[in-house]
Amino acid sequence: MAELLTTWFIPGKMHCNYFLELCSLVFMVAIVIAYYSRKKFPTAVFKLFGVCLISVTITISCDILSCYLLDNADRIPLFWCEAITELLYFSQIFCSYLLFAYIFYSIGKTLRFEPRYYLTIVPSVICSVIIFTNCLHHGIFRFVEIGSGVYDFEYGPAYFLLYVIAGLNVVSTVIYAITFRKSMHVKLIFVLFTVIALLLVAIIIHLFQPEHLLYGIVYTMAMVFIIITVNDPDEKVDRISKAFNNEAFVEYINNQRTERQRKHFIVFDIESFGMFNEKFGSLYANEVLSSIRKFIEGVNKKTYIFKTHSSRFVLMLRNREEQLQMVAAIRHRFSSSFNVKDKSIILTINLFYFENNGAFKNTDSYKDFVTRTLPTLNFNDSNFVELDAKFMERINRDRRIKEILEQCLREKRGLYMVYQPIYDVNNKEFNHFEALIRLDNDELGFVGPAEFIPIAESSGLANEIDYFVLNETCAFLARNPQVGILEVNISCAEFFNNPSSRFLKIIKEHNVDPKRICLEITETIAVKYPEKTKEFMADLGQYGVQFAMDDFGSGYSNIARFITLPFSIAKLDKTLLEESKNIKIFFDSAVNLFKSLGIPIVIEGVETETQLATSKTKKIEFIQGYYFSKPLKEEDLQKFLVANKIA
Ligand code: C2E
Ligand code: MG
Ligand code: MG
């Protein structure tokens, strides 16, 4: 060994200085071993980075070997030197291509079926063919005999091609990075440009002083730099349970097009984990989480286990059999106690399992489902619930409705208002109307507000809809002075953005008398945000805006709350018209209550002669329903008013 080393370092005999390259090689081998021995999140990016590490190690080995073989051409046939040099140039081109692929994958784009991908791969393939046929044409390099058995390396006329191709790969990477800069993490951009700068330095030095082998050290530096900045496998592992963490989960979901995504999910939460944590201490709780992870790995080693929140695990399995087997194993395990340290405790979990068969068409829908929908689902009486295909379809439809709503609000089309006349029994006229929103879309057809309003409310679009509705209805009131009072449904799901000032602004913009507007607020909102509702009503009430309590009797009616708020109309839900003894009793008492409070009543959903007669007997002041008219578009409403001699 010592002899070998001295031979290598004898000045004059060697063509190049191997020393730095040798150090780099030792370093790279250590990095490869460390990288593959650590727990790694199985994304394409991590796999690709593993390929990068191996390719760089091969490149450095070829570099050292080719110089060694050239120095020893008197003993080892020159053919070997030529073959290894060809491999060296090929792996250099390959490494520059890998850089491109790495960036591509890191930002979650699929390399498959992208025309640009083929454009970038074609020059590299042509160049590789030229490299591997160099022994025939010597276009890239050749060896010239300068003494007996002593050879020198000489560039061929097409040597520059290597720089051109490597340069092309680097340029396409940069163009790609600039194009998709918005989806790239700043760190990744920084890493990319640092790596390119490092490579440029090595190339320039090599151009002027070819005997200095610097590629190895530069590549090694670049790899170490990538590991510590953006590709550290430990960053994707939860410290406590050693399952993959939420970051890994989001990345996996984001890259679903580049991954062969697993479809069989199990999601479970440990009930009252916070309390458990407080009672027994975090060390004990951590131990429990870790033993859950170990248990799952014990059942099926191939399961992807993510701990996405403090006590929520998401498992992904390869097929239905594995999924069912895992559900059964978990059910069995959690029916007995966990013995950790000196304690033994029974844990209750809520578990969902489902198959994602195209229900999630994009990454947002996935994240939305796991982070928003799942936690809100009801478990009823079972703690182990299978979400069937129908449910998954529902999720998909909800998601699509949300996207379409966003688009409609942005493009200001697809959403419109209709108006339903309300009959004033005492004055025998139609002076009140209710404005109701409609959604008509090419893809989904007609979607009713009962379906899309709750979706809007749970996805932060309710305020936008409120503003849209108020704008439309104020414009309608301004165009139709014959319309007395217009009842307008509002969600006010986000009271915190202080909607009253914006509401007032809209009313003023249209120059409409605020007294003609009666905002309908549902019980749910009034009960959920009592203080905010009170403030909101006071803010607008001082300008004359009126308020109606909508759907009274449909939920759990908080009568005490109702009485304290300044509503001027009570709208009784159509369910109160049902033919049931108990409902009839409730209906009567509701009517009596509002009568004694002096609040006029609107009864909704009157369709038949009998219902009309009942309402009249109870002396209800206003009647709304298909008996008189369905909700109408503005022009049809105008015709209705003419026919009923209002206009
Ligand atoms: P709501 O405010 O209780 O509106 C009354 C609903 O009863 C309307 O349904 C109306 O078309 C329907 N209806 C009226 N008369 C009859 C009848 O005789 N028989 C039957 N079966 N139904 C009748 P629609 O338009 O589908 O609205 C459903 C719900 O969606 C509304 O209930 C309201 O809570 C919400 N909504 C409608 N428009 C808006 C809006 O502009 N903004 C907000 N935030 N919510 C709205
Ligand atoms: Mg209403
Ligand atoms: Mg109602």
Mean pLDDT across 166-173: 82
Ligand 1: nearest atom to the Cα of 417: 41
- The DSSP call for residue 212 is B
Burial class (CB in 10 A: 0-12, 13-18, 19+), 573: buried
Query: Which among 436, 573, 575 is the best mutation to test ligand 1's pocket, defined by most ligand atoms within 8 Å of the CB?
Result: 436
CA distance 195 to 212: 19
Mean pLDDT across 356-381: 66
The answer to whether the beta carbons of residues 469 and 489 sit under 8 Å apart is yes
> DSSP per residue over 304-350, as a string?
EEEEEETTEEEEEESSHHHHHHHHHHHHHHHTS-EEETTEEE---EE
Confidence check: pLDDT of 258 > 60: no
* CA 374–ligand 3 middle distance (angstroms): 29
The pLDDT, as a whole number, for residue 371 is 67
Query: Strand 546-552 relative to strand 569-572: parallel, antiparallel, unpaired?
Result: parallel
Residue whose Cα lies nearest atom 37 of ligand 1: it is: 436
Confidence check: pLDDT of 94 > 50: yes
The pLDDT, as a whole number, for residue 598 is 93
The ligand placed nearest to the CA atom of residue 492 is 1
Q: In which band, very low, low, confident or very high, does the pLDDT at 551 lie, cut at 50, 70 and 90?
A: confident
In this predicted model, what pLDDT tens digit does every residue of 568-590 receive, in sequence order? Answer: 999 999 998 988 888 899 899 99
Ligand 1: nearest atom to the Cα of 573: 3
When computed from its CA atoms, the radius of gyration of the chain, rounded to whole angstroms, is 36
Please give the mean pLDDT across all residues of the chain.
85
CA distance 331 to 349: 9
Q: Cβ(605) to ligand 1 under 6 A? A: yes
Q: Which tops the pLDDT comparison, 378 or 312?
A: 312
Q: How far is CA 111 from the centre of its chain?
A: 21
Q: What crossing angle do the helices spanning 186-208 and 160-179 adopt, rounded to 10°?
A: 160
Q: In which band, very low, low, confident or very high, does the pLDDT at 226 lie, cut at 50, 70 and 90?
A: confident
Domains and CATH numbers, the chain: 2-234 (1.20.1070), 237-387 (3.30.70.270), 400-643 (3.20.20.450)
Most confidently modeled range among 167-181, 183-197, 464-478, 528-542: 464-478
Confidence check: pLDDT of 555 > 90: no
The pLDDT, as a whole number, for residue 48 is 87
The pLDDT, as a whole number, for residue 7 is 47
Confidence check: pLDDT of 8 > 60: no
In this predicted model, what pLDDT tens digit does every residue of 416-462 receive, in sequence order? Answer: 999 999 999 999 999 999 999 999 999 999 999 999 998 998 888 99
> DSSP per residue over 471-504, as a string?
HHHHHHHHH-TT--EEEEE---TTGGG-HHHHHH
* CA 602–ligand 3 middle distance (angstroms): 9
In this predicted model, what pLDDT tens digit does every residue of 108-167 receive, in sequence order? Answer: 665 555 666 667 788 888 889 999 999 889 999 988 888 777 888 888 888 888 888 888
Most confidently modeled range among 313-322, 365-374, 490-499: 313-322
The pLDDT, as a whole number, for residue 121 is 80
Tokens of residue 190, six digits: 């920084």
The pLDDT, as a whole number, for residue 557 is 61
The pLDDT, as a whole number, for residue 16 is 59
Q: Which tops the pLDDT comparison, 635 or 11?
A: 635
Q: Cβ(415) to ligand 1 under 6 A? A: no
* Ion ligand 2 residues within 5 Å by Cβ: 489, 520, 550
Confidence check: pLDDT of 266 > 80: yes
Confidence check: pLDDT of 638 > 50: yes
Confidence check: pLDDT of 11 > 50: no
Return the amino acid letter for 540. Answer: L
Most confidently modeled range among 67-76, 144-153, 181-190: 67-76
* CA 401–ligand 3 middle distance (angstroms): 22
Question: Which residues make Cβ contacts (< 8 Å) with residue 311, sequence separation at least 6?
Answer: 269, 270, 273, 274, 289
Q: Which helix (H) or strand (E) holds 186?
A: helix 186-208
Q: How far is CA 181 from the centre of its chain?
A: 18
* CA 255–ligand 1 middle distance (angstroms): 41
The pLDDT, as a whole number, for residue 12 is 43
Cα atoms in the Cβ-side hemisphere of radius 13 Å centred on 553: 25
In this predicted model, what pLDDT tens digit does every residue of 472-512 receive, in sequence order? Answer: 999 999 999 999 999 999 987 766 677 888 999 999 999 99
In this predicted model, what pLDDT tens digit does every residue of 26-49 receive, in sequence order? Answer: 999 999 999 988 877 777 788 888
Mean pLDDT across 554-565: 72
The answer to whether the beta carbons of residues 421 and 410 sit under 8 Å apart is no
Residue whose Cα lies nearest atom 24 of ligand 1: it is: 449
Which residue in 343, 335, 300, 333 sits closest to 318, CA to CA? 300
* CA 513–ligand 1 middle distance (angstroms): 24
Tokens of residue 94, six digits: 């390959």
Question: Which residues make Cβ contacts (< 8 Å) with residue 624, sequence separation at least 6?
Answer: 420, 421, 422, 423, 434, 571, 602, 603, 604, 605, 606
The pLDDT, as a whole number, for residue 594 is 93
Q: Cβ(173) to ligand 1 under 6 A? A: no
Query: Strand 415-424 relative to strand 622-624: parallel, antiparallel, unpaired?
Result: antiparallel
CA distance 65 to 324: 53
Return the amino acid letter for 510. Answer: H
Mean pLDDT across 457-468: 89
Ligand 1: nearest atom to the Cα of 449: 30
Question: How many percent of the chain have pLDDT more than 90?
Answer: 41
